[in-house]
Amino acid sequence: MQVADVLLPEPKIKPVLDPGFRPAALAVRALEGAAKASGKPLDVGVALEQADGSTFCFRRSFLPAGHPAAAANGYFLERLVKFLLWSRGGWKVHVEGSKELADGLRAYYADTETGRFDTMMMGERIYERRFEVVSVDRLPAERATTQALGRHWDGCRIGFDLGGSDRKVSAVMDGNPVFTEETVWDPIKQADPQYHFDGIMDSLKKAAAHLPRVDAIGGSAAGVYVNNQPRVASLYRAVPPDLFQSRIKPIFADLKAAWGGIPFEVANDGEVTALAGSMALGKNAVLGIAMGTSTAAGFVTRDGNITSWLNELAFVPLDFRHEGPRDEWSMDRGVGSQYFSQQAVGRLLPASGIEFDPSLGLPEKLKLVQQRMAQGDVRARRIYETIGTYFGYGLAHFASFYDCDHVLVLGRVMTGEGGNLILEGARAVLAAEFPDLTGRIEFHTPDETSKRHGQAVAAASLPNRKG
């Protein structure tokens, strides 16, 4: 669906290597402004329901029937629901206020490639139910649960962090790291579950060699995890569905058994990012964002707990232009993985003018850019400046959905001077376009070692030996 240019305003600060970027935050602001100016905005409510009964409600103003740009309502509703699905999660979407929009949304999920991806992921894979969109006269009551996560340091522990290009492990004694290691691997292309099992076991054994005993093991891994089972994870994309069910879903239970049944807990890497930030800062209301192979995120509430939200910001829409970059997995355009990750660096590399071997993988492309940055190459600098502009507008959009005062940013993309440029760019955007957020949001970055290994150390605190 084409959206009128008036609803896709140009940003005051354009990404230097991507001037066509049209931020979601500005588009939503334009839509709500136009709805209010009409004098009779269409009030639409959306509620997402999860398998445990948790329900999240949200309202937004849309354009009334007869408005010259009213045809864009369907697009904006779908982008809103897309954000809610991948930030909150849910198998059932309730729509109040417009049966026509609800019907259009239902058709989108049934008839389009990107819609069917979300339907399959939310319905079959994550919540193991048939995905539904229903039109209702009144939204169900909001219901949400939170839980404590981690912060256990007693005894001898191992923490690991599984990424798409490397795996990290730490040995921790009574809260003090005594060993850390990073190992390059390539899990996304591996169809054999044994590759994944052996790689994780190898890291655990190396850490165990530095401890007198192992009392508990905690893990941080990209993807959606329910009861220590991977439900959706890019790490295992090459594994055939039957082997995913028989070998990958129980992989952490099998590892636990191999270590004698000691406490063993695995959480989404984004949640562990936020946990690491909350513990390091001694503060709550923390949104953690890791720019690594993809984009990981997690959220610690004001009371210091986590929610049942998915926080998979790699899939949320951030760019509303018609021909934004396409995500290779979901096939959707303008989503987080293309802006805050190694994928973003690789995508921007040709536009920067830096010469490179096209056969290089994303980790090698990032290393090349980091080397050029260290040498003072202005072309590398422009890549980081572009990501910084993206980040400022992205954070403004996130702030509409996350009640956060602190944003912790880490991951391989943030390593080195380039990370500072990203934060400078984000601050400039907030000051120019969203001054109310400038005084509210405080940025934090760990030191260089913690940027690379902080998640593994924090993951070690996940299991409760007393519970």
Within a domain: 8: no
Among 459, 467, 466, CA closest to 157 = 459
Sorting pLDDT into bands at 50, 70 and 90, what band is 227?
confident
Average pLDDT over residues 353-357: 97
Q: Is 378 exposed, middle or buried (0-12, 13-18, 19+ CB in 10 A)?
A: exposed
Owning domain of residue 75: 38-144
Residue 373 sits in a domain of what CATH number? 3.30.420.40
Same domain flag for 186 and 333? yes
Does residue 95 carry a pLDDT above 60?
yes
Average pLDDT over residues 437-464: 82
Q: What is the pLDDT of residue 414?
A: 94
Average pLDDT over residues 47-72: 95
Average pLDDT over residues 57-71: 96
* CA 109 centroid distance within chain: 22
Same domain flag for 335 and 225? yes
Sorting pLDDT into bands at 50, 70 and 90, what band is 447?
low
pTM of the model: 0.88
On the CB side of 382, CA atoms within 13 Å amount to 17
Average pLDDT over residues 224-241: 91
Secondary structure element (H or E) that encloses residue 141, with its range: none
Q: What is the pLDDT of residue 37?
A: 97
Same domain flag for 136 and 178? no
Within a domain: 29: no
pLDDT, tens digit, for every residue of 281-324?
Answer: 889 999 999 898 899 899 999 988 877 789 999 999 999 998 99
pLDDT, tens digit, for every residue of 133-182?
Answer: 999 999 999 998 777 778 899 999 999 999 888 899 999 999 999 999 99
Q: What is the pLDDT of residue 199?
A: 98
Same domain flag for 332 and 186? yes
Q: Which phi and psi (to 5°) does residue 50 adopt?
A: -105, 170
Same domain flag for 164 and 136? no
Same domain flag for 60 and 175? no
Average pLDDT over residues 13-32: 98
Secondary structure element (H or E) that encloses residue 157, with its range: strand 156-162
Average pLDDT over residues 249-271: 95
Within a domain: 381: yes
Same domain flag for 113 and 160? no
Q: What is the pLDDT of residue 223?
A: 86
Sorting pLDDT into bands at 50, 70 and 90, what band is 4?
confident
Picking from 97, 115, 144, the residue at the C-terminal end of a domain is 144
Q: What is the pLDDT of residue 442?
A: 95
Average pLDDT over residues 69-74: 96
Same domain flag for 140 and 188? no
Same domain flag for 100 and 79? yes
Does residue 381 carry a pLDDT above 60?
yes
Within a domain: 25: no
Within a domain: 404: yes
Residues paired with residue 172 on neighbouring β-strands, in sequence order: 157, 177
Strands 224-226 and 229-232: antiparallel
Place of tokens 């076991």: 201
Picking from 122, 144, 166, the residue at the C-terminal end of a domain is 144
Sorting pLDDT into bands at 50, 70 and 90, what band is 449?
low
Does residue 452 carry a pLDDT above 60?
no
Cα separation, 353 vs 24, in Å, equals: 28
Q: Count of CB atoms within 10 A of residue 312's CB?
A: 27
How many structural domains compose the chain? 2
Same domain flag for 222 and 269? yes
Average pLDDT over residues 111-130: 95
Same domain flag for 197 and 88? no
Among 45, 28, 131, 50, CA closest to 310 = 50
Cα separation, 273 vs 220, in Å, equals: 9
Picking from 88, 119, 144, the residue at the C-terminal end of a domain is 144
Q: Decide if 87 contacts 48 (C-beta within 8 A).
A: no
Same domain flag for 410 and 453? yes
Within a domain: 162: yes
Place of tokens 């005062």: 405
pLDDT more than 90, % of the chain:
82
Cα separation, 286 vs 275, in Å, equals: 8
Average pLDDT over residues 248-254: 97
Within a domain: 348: yes
